[in-house]
Amino acid sequence: MNKDYQGVIGLIAVVRERANSYIEDEIRKRDMEGIVPAHGSVLNVLFNNNNPLPIKDIVTQVGRVKSTVTGIINTLEKYGYIRKYSDSTDARVILISLTAKGKGLEKDFQEISESLIKRTYSNFNDSEKTDLIELLNKVARNLG
- What CATH number does residue 86 fall under? 1.10.10.10
Contacts of 110 (CB under 8 A, 6+ apart): none
Q: Could you list the residue range(s) of the whole structural domain that residue 38 is in?
A: 5-143
φ, ψ for residue 53 (rounded to 5)? -120, 145
Is the confidence at residue 98, as pLDDT, over 90? Answer: yes
Q: Rounded to a whole number, what is the largest CA-CA distance in the chain?
A: 57
CA distance 37 to 43: 10
Residue-wise pLDDT for 125-139, tens only, equals: 999 999 999 999 999
115 contacts 26 by C-beta, under 8 angstroms: yes
Split into its structural domains, the chain has a count of 1
* Candidate ranges 47-51, 88-92, 115-119; pick with highest mean pLDDT: 115-119
The pLDDT score that the predictor gives to residue 38 is 94
Confidence (pTM): 0.84
